[in-house]
Every structure is written in C-alpha cells, then in structure tokens.
Amino acid sequence: MINPLEKQIEDYKAWREQIASAISEYRDWLDLTGASDGLQDLRLYDMAESVRRDRLVLAFVAEFARGKTETINALFFSNYKTRLLPCDAGRTTMCPTEIFWDPNEEPYVKLLPIETRKNDDSITMLKRIPGAWTKLRLDTSSPEEMQKAFHALVQKKEVTLDEARALGLWNDQDMMMVQSIQTKGKVEIPLWRHALINFPHPLLKSGLVILDTPGLNTLGTEPELTINIIPSAHAVVFLLATDTGVTKSDMAIWTNYIRDRASKKIAVLNKIDILWDDLKTPQEVQAMIQSQVEATARQLNIPAQDVFAISAQKALLARIRNDDALLAKSGIEKVEHALAQNVVASKHAILRDTILVETSNMVKASRKTIQQRVAASRAQLAELNALRGKNREVVQKLLDKVSADRRVYEESVRTYTLSNQKVMQLGELLMQQLSLDRLDQMLDRSREEIGDSWTTHGLNQGMRKLIAQTTTLAEEITHQGMEIKSLADELYQLFHTKHGFEARTPPKLDMTPFLHSMQALVKTTDEFCSDPINVMTEKHFLVRKFFFSLVAQARAAFEAAHHDTHVWLKGLLAPLKLQIAEHKSQLDKRTESLMKIHENLDALQKSIEEAAAHHALLQSQSAALDQILLKLMKAAQTAAAAEPSKPATNETMGAPTLGTVSLTV
Ligand SMILES: Nc1nc2c(ncn2[C@@H]2O[C@H](COP(=O)(O)OP(=O)(O)OP(=O)(O)O)[C@@H](O)[C@H]2O)c(=O)[nH]1
Ligand SMILES: [Mg+2]
C-alpha cells in the first residue's frame, strides 16, 4: 500500500515534470518564432533541468541511540523485510550519511576517510573529487550483501591522543574518551568522515535525499553540518527517546542546531513501546504516553500536537510482518502524514517563488511582444484595406508620413544607444564590486583580525570587520544602482512620450537579501562564540574549521548577489530594447509594402493577402503561447493548494490570474 509520504513525493515529481515540460515547450516556441536568444535559452534549459533534478532533503538529527537510523529503516526501507541500516545500542552510526539516487551511476557506498579532516577542504568541495572517496559497489538484489556494505557506517578505529588531536576529534570533556586514554592509551574515532549511498529506491528516485547523522559529538566537530548542511535541509526530524527523556545533550542539539536553524522541523518521541504494558489498560498506557509527550513539548517549548509519539522498532517489525494493528499502534503513519503535508508543501512553495515566477515573467514578456506584433499586423492590414480604390497620391502621403516617423524614431534610437552604453559601463563597475576577488580582499582583512591564534575572540572581531565592510559595500551598490536606474527611467519616459511605448519603471536593485545572508552569518558566529564549550576549551581546530565554513557561506552570498545583480542589470533595458527592435521592424515593413504599392497599384491585392496570412500566423503563435502560460499558472495554483497557509495570489506568482489571461487578442 502506498503511504501518504510516498504519494506526496510522487505527486511532487509529476508536478515538477509538468513545469519542466512547459519550460521546454516555451523554448521550442521561442525557437519557432525566431525570438530565441542564446543566454535566455541557456537559462531556460538550466531551469528545466534543475526542476527535473530537484531534491528534497530530509535530515535526521538527534543525540546517539535515540533511534534515528531505526526510524529511517522503518520509514523507507521496510520493503527489504530486514533492518537494512545498522542500529544498535550506544553510538552506532559513526559518520553523517546521505542516501539518494543518482541514475548516472551504479548503486554504491562512497566513504570519505577521516584523515581528510587534516586539511581545510569542505565536504561539499570533496564531493567533487571522486579520488578522495573509497567506493564500494552495492548489490541491491541481496539484502545481506547490502547490510555488509552498510556496515562501513559504523566502522571505528583506535588512535593515539596526538592523532585524535591532529584530527580535531579529541574532546577532554568526553568522559569515555578520557577513560579510554587512561586505560588503553588510545581512543576510538570513526574510520570515515562522511558517507554517500547511491540507492535505487522509488522515493529516492523521486528526488528524496535522506541525511542520517551521528549524535552531538560529531555535530560539534563538523561545523559544515551545522552551518550549511542542516539549515539547507528541507525538513529536520528531531528524535527523543522515551527511556532517556529530554537530556541536557538533547537540549543542546535542539537549541544549537535545530530550533532556530532548521526551517521545517518535526519532533518525534521514539521508543514508546517501552511504555506498552499488558497489565495496564490501553487508556492508561495512552495517558502515560500523552504525559511524556506534554513534558517533552514543554521542554522544547513547542505545542504538544507537534510532538509525534512513535515506536520505530515496532513500526519496522509491523511492516516486515505485515501487521496492520501493530503498525497503527507504532504511530509512524502520523509522522508520514506530517512530513507529507509540511515538507513537500514547503518545497512546492520554494519552486513556485523561484523558477515558476522567473519563467512566467519571461513568458509574459514574450506574450507582450507577440501581442504587439499581432496588433501591428492588424493595423497594417487595416491600412492596406483602406488603400483600396485610392490613387498614388494618397499612397505617397502615407509614405511621407511613415518616413517622417522613421526620422524622429531614429533620433530616439541614437539617444537609447548612448544611454545604454553608459548603463553598461556603470553596470560593469557595479559587477566588479561584487566579484569574488573583492570578497577575497575583505576576507584577507578579516583573517588579519583573527590572526594565527584561532580564538573565538579573534573570530568574533574578524566577522564584525567583514560585516562592516559588506554593509558599506551594499550601501554603495544600492546608491549606484539608483543612478543606473534613473538613466533607464529617462529612456522609458522618452519612448513613452515620443513614440507611445508603454510607460514602465524598472524595479530597484535590492541588496537586502545579500545583507540578510551576511547578518545571518554574524548571528551564527555570535552563537558559536558565546557557546561556553567553545569559549572555555578554545578549540583552535574547531574555530579554524568554523571560519572556513563561514567563508564558504559568504562566498555563496556573494555569488547569489552577483547573480541577482547581473539579472537585474540585464532586465533593466531588455523590454525597451525588444520594443525598439519590434517598432523598427514594423516601420520597415510598412515602408516596404507602401513603396511596392506606390510603384504598382495592382500589387495592393497581393500585399493584402500576404498581410492577412501573416496576421493569422501571429494569432496562432500567440494562442500557443497562452497555452504555455496557462500550464505554468496551473502549476502555480497546484503549489499554492498544497500549502494551506499560503493561498495562490497574484502577488506571490507576480502574474495575472487565470481569468485575466484572456485568450483573445
Ligand atoms: N525499544 C525500542 N528500541 C528502539 C526503538 N528504536 C530504536 N531502538 C533501539 O535503540 C538503539 C539505537 O537505535 P539507532 O537507530 O541505532 O539510534 P541512532 O539515533 O541512529 O543512534 P546513533 O547512530 O548512535 O546516533 C538500537 O538498539 C535500536 O534497536 C524503539 O522504537 N523502541
Ligand atoms: Mg544511527
């Protein structure tokens, strides 16, 4: 039986296909109507591909032994009728594990050796270097073989204190480590730093990515998980266990890594089977579970209905044995419902607000152009029809008028060309300021502030310096953006008053998303620097790793700002440029056909027929484009319907409603 989560994820995949195919149709339309331009075509191709390849990341984060891996087994892998991923008492999963499906490769387990921690390369970067990983092939026809391969996830090794220190894994607050050094002179560390599992499961094929993480110790030693990987997950499942209650380290994980960092989160109270007691009535057992749920909710400071009580172990067992009563009792289906409702819906919203808005805007711009062409061809047809039975003098007068129009127009086009050059020059200066070279200069200065000692104090100072510089930069860029915009405004105004073009004011350059991302980095740094553990122990290794994770994020913020500014600049005069070209080709066409008729009045009938055929062709092209726009708008409505809290509005789509997409011209 298909569960709600599977259904939602499959529907979501179908929805993405629908968008991708509308984008492909639009590319074909542009090609057919001769309106395709290389850059736009590339962008559309990229968008269609990214919609097709879109992934939905579900992260399981909790202290060790709360049942993360068991829950993953129960939710996703029960059809193998066995416990596929290794679970055990105590610390089991030793490295963060990503499970996904990449159809371009065979099933595998790839493992990143723990020694890679000795240099500053991030996991994201290392993913691009195949040679850095140890690869095991995965035989998906045999659950036993798979279990063997997955055993790598729990592999450990013993190293000396010096080696543990060199890897940044030594923690003198960890009693187990201290004892181990005292008794054996060695300490256990994970063999692998990160694992990637390529696995052909239907949900993973639909774009789901599962991230299993080890407990607090690893979260603390791999800042990239905290700063980047967990916050970018589309949902985080946080687990607690009935037998332990909410411990101090559970709370540390919740407050430091999830509460304010994860956009969507689900709290799960696992192992409720421990409370099942045949000597009590079902009501009594239920009351006990409910009281634990309420206590948990109070401690996490969230509503009790947001805490899901489950038994992952019994859910897995129930699915292996096809025991529906046990499955219902395990509570796992409620988690599936919640994930289906929240996670997929929030993902819908992301695509709707990004790719759907961008493509719809492109289609709407094309729609305007094609409608102008239709209107112009209609006017030309009318003009030709009105010439029936008229003499050459009338034709001559019309020709004179068109020539006069052309002269005035050419003058305006000269003004446009000059101003456009100026806009391009200023734009280039603007882009240079957002270049990665510029960021590197800033980072160098902030590194100087930190020095070589890698203390939290230095880190704090360095980040403050960086943020001060980026704020000034954002202000300067906003100011220059206004200057460029005012040039563009003047041009739009000129063509509006002199040639009847549509009155338009292009949008302002908005640097607030950039500022927000930089401020978020300061907040993360503040939290890191004020965490007593980090201040007291002054883990230089960790501070250094933390700094490089921040650098990666700052780089991403700069790249995003660079991209947004580029898009803004490109879009600034693009509609005007298009209209200018359109208008010119109309004037040319009019002149050409009037000259022909002027030479030979008998040519009129043929010209009328040609103009009528051209008009009909443009009308059918316009209708085809309307169908594409309708498809995109329907997809936007589906997305809005999937997200109960956010109804479909004109504003969020930035588009007219279906009602105003009039199919007549
Ligand atoms: N009674 C009971 N035990 C469970 C349940 N879920 C998991 N366990 C047991 O708890 C232990 C830990 O489970 P895991 O899934 O390995 O926990 P984890 O959170 O992945 O732990 P790490 O990998 O060490 O971070 C295992 O022995 C499981 O069999 C449950 O619902 N009920
Ligand atoms: Mg585990």
> pLDDT tens, 484-524?
999 999 999 999 998 888 888 899 999 999 999 988 888 88
| Residue with token string 């105590």 | 90
282, 366, 311: which is closest to 28 by C-alpha?
Answer: 366
Give how far the C-alpha of residue 581 lies from the chain's centroid of Cα atoms, to the nearest Å.
36
Q: Residue 351: pLDDT band by 50, 70, 90 thresholds? A: confident
**Ligand 1 centre distance from Cα of residue 154 (Å):** 13
Note whether 508 and 428 are same-domain residues: yes
pLDDT in tens, 220-252: 788 888 778 888 888 899 999 999 999 998 998
More confident residue, 537 or 168: 168
**Ligand 1 centre distance from Cα of residue 66 (Å):** 5
According to the model, what pLDDT value does residue 648 have? 38
Q: Is the CB of 63 under 6 A from ligand 1?
A: no
Q: Residue 647: pLDDT band by 50, 70, 90 thresholds? A: very low
129-151 mean pLDDT: 94
CA distance linking residue 543 with residue 69, whole number of Å: 30
Amino acid in position 509: L
CATH of the domain at 287: 3.40.50.300
HSE toward the beta carbon, residue 63, CA cutoff 13 A:
18
- Asked whether the whole model's pTM tops 0.75, one would answer yes
More confident residue, 474 or 37: 474
More confident residue, 326 or 306: 326
93 CA: nearest ligand 1 atom: 23
According to the model, what pLDDT value does residue 655 have? 31
Query: In this structure, how many other beta carbons lie within 10 angstroms of the beta carbon of residue 640?
Result: 19
pLDDT in tens, 324-350: 999 999 999 999 988 887 777 777 888
**Contacts with 322 (C-beta within 8 Å, 6 or more apart), sequence order:** none
More confident residue, 448 or 275: 275
Beta bridge partners of 192: 113
* pLDDT value at 117 more than 50: yes
SS (H, E, C) 570-614: HHHHHHHHHHHHHHHHHHHHHHHHHHHHHHCCCHHHHHHHHHHHH
379, 377, 381, 365: which is closest to 618 by C-alpha?
Answer: 377
Q: What CA–CA distances, in Å, run from 479 to 114, 535, 566, 639?
A: 48, 40, 16, 37
Sequence length of the chain is 665
> pLDDT > 70: what percent of the chain?
95
Q: Is the CB of 373 under 6 A from ligand 1?
A: no
Q: Whole domain around residue 588: which residue ranges?
A: 392-600
Q: Is the CB of 214 under 6 A from ligand 1?
A: yes
Structure tokens at 420: 């456009």
Note whether 428 and 544 are same-domain residues: yes
Q: Residue 643: pLDDT band by 50, 70, 90 thresholds? A: low
**Ligand 1 centre distance from Cα of residue 291 (Å):** 22
Q: Is the CB of 311 under 6 A from ligand 1?
A: yes
Q: Is the CB of 217 under 6 A from ligand 1?
A: no
Give nearest CA residue, ligand 1 atom 16: 87
pLDDT in tens, 397-443: 999 999 999 999 999 999 999 999 999 999 999 999 888 888 888 88
Residue after which a domain boundary falls, among 307, 330, 353: 330
CB 60 within 8 A of CB 212: yes
**Ligand 1 centre distance from Cα of residue 70 (Å):** 6
CB 256 within 8 A of CB 527: yes
3-class state of residue 267 by DSSP = strand
Whose atoms come closest to the Cα of 241: which ligand?
1
431, 546, 606, 603: which is closest to 120 by C-alpha?
Answer: 546
> pLDDT > 90: what percent of the chain?
52
User: Kindly report the CA angle at 359 between 353 and 361, in degrees rounded to 5?
Assistant: 85
CA distance linking residue 183 with residue 514, whole number of Å: 52
CB 122 within 8 A of CB 225: no
Q: Residue 354: pLDDT band by 50, 70, 90 thresholds? A: confident
CA distance linking residue 335 with residue 369, whole number of Å: 49
Q: Is residue 607 domain-resident?
A: no
Torsion of CA 377, 383, 387, 392, to 10 degrees: -100
Q: Is residue 636 domain-resident?
A: no
DSSP H or E stretch at residue 361: helix 357-386
Note whether 62 and 210 are same-domain residues: yes
Amino acid in position 493: Q
> Which span out of 13-27, 38-52, 453-467 was modeled with the highest average pLDDT?
13-27
Q: What CA–CA distances, in Å, run from 640 to 326, 529, 577, 614?
A: 36, 40, 34, 39
According to the model, what pLDDT value does residue 271 have? 97
Structure tokens at 346: 């929030």
Beta bridge partners of 111: 134, 195
Q: Residue 375: pLDDT band by 50, 70, 90 thresholds? A: very high
Q: Residue 651: pLDDT band by 50, 70, 90 thresholds? A: very low
Residue after which a domain boundary falls, among 600, 632, 650: 600
* pLDDT value at 642 more than 80: no
Note whether 102 and 230 are same-domain residues: yes
Residue after which a domain boundary falls, among 572, 600, 628: 600
Mean pLDDT over the full length of the chain: 88
3-class state of residue 200 by DSSP = coil
CA distance linking residue 544 with residue 459, whole number of Å: 9
Q: Is residue 176 domain-resident?
A: no
Counted domains in the chain: 2
129-157 mean pLDDT: 94
More confident residue, 659 or 43: 43
467-477 mean pLDDT: 91
DSSP H or E stretch at residue 641: helix 603-642
CA distance linking residue 439 with residue 466, whole number of Å: 9
* pLDDT value at 13 more than 70: yes
According to the model, what pLDDT value does residue 129 have? 94
Q: Are strands 108-113 and 192-198 parallel, antiparallel or unpaired?
A: antiparallel
pLDDT in tens, 541-584: 788 888 888 888 888 899 999 999 998 998 899 888 988 988 89
Q: Is the CB of 88 under 6 A from ligand 1?
A: yes
Give nearest CA residue, ligand 1 atom 14: 67
**Ligand 2 centre distance from Cα of residue 448 (Å):** 41
* pLDDT value at 453 more than 80: no
Q: Is the CB of 270 under 6 A from ligand 1?
A: yes
Give nearest CA residue, ligand 1 atom 25: 64
89 CA: nearest ligand 1 atom: 27
| Residue with token string 């096809």 | 322
According to the model, what pLDDT value does residue 636 have? 85
The CA R_g of the chain, rounded to the nearest whole Å, is: 32
Note whether 147 and 246 are same-domain residues: yes
Q: What CA–CA distances, in Å, run from 359 to 19, 73, 297?
A: 10, 39, 42
Q: Is residue 580 domain-resident?
A: yes
Q: Is residue 614 domain-resident?
A: no
Note whether 316 and 424 are same-domain residues: no
In angstroms, how far is the first alpha carbon of the chain from the final one? 49
According to the model, what pLDDT value does residue 226 have? 78
Give nearest CA residue, ligand 1 atom 30: 271
CA distance linking residue 22 with residue 627, whole number of Å: 9
CB 509 within 8 A of CB 423: no
Amino acid in position 174: D
Structure tokens at 414: 């000269």
More confident residue, 454 or 644: 454
* pLDDT value at 538 more than 80: no
User: Kindly report the CA angle at 77 between 71 and 78, in degrees rounded to 5?
Assistant: 90
**Contacts with 334 (C-beta within 8 Å, 6 or more apart), sequence order:** 308, 310
90-107 mean pLDDT: 92
Q: Is residue 430 domain-resident?
A: yes
* pLDDT value at 645 more than 60: no
Pocket test for ligand 1, best of 64, 70, 240 (most atoms within 8 A of CB): 70
**Ligand 2 centre distance from Cα of residue 151 (Å):** 11
Structure tokens at 598: 């002027």
pLDDT in tens, 176-207: 889 999 999 999 999 999 999 999 988 888 88
* pLDDT value at 459 more than 80: yes
CA distance linking residue 338 with residue 204, whole number of Å: 19
Q: Is residue 91 domain-resident?
A: yes
Q: Order of strands across the sheet with 134-137?
A: 134-137, 108-113, 192-198, 97-100, 208-212, 56-61, 235-241, 265-270, 307-309
| Residue with token string 């059809």 | 79
CA distance linking residue 154 with residue 151, whole number of Å: 6
According to the model, what pLDDT value does residue 654 have? 30
Note whether 293 and 396 are same-domain residues: no
Q: Is the CB of 330 under 6 A from ligand 1?
A: no
Q: Is the CB of 485 under 6 A from ligand 1?
A: no
CB 326 within 8 A of CB 276: no
Burial class (CB in 10 A: 0-12, 13-18, 19+), 662: exposed
CA distance linking residue 346 with residue 94, whole number of Å: 30
312 CA: nearest ligand 1 atom: 31
351-360 mean pLDDT: 87
Q: Is the CB of 68 under 6 A from ligand 1?
A: yes
Q: Residue 539: pLDDT band by 50, 70, 90 thresholds? A: low
Amino acid in position 207: G
According to the model, what pLDDT value does residue 664 have? 29
Note whether 196 and 84 are same-domain residues: yes
Note whether 215 and 124 are same-domain residues: yes
CB 501 within 8 A of CB 495: yes
Q: Is residue 212 domain-resident?
A: yes
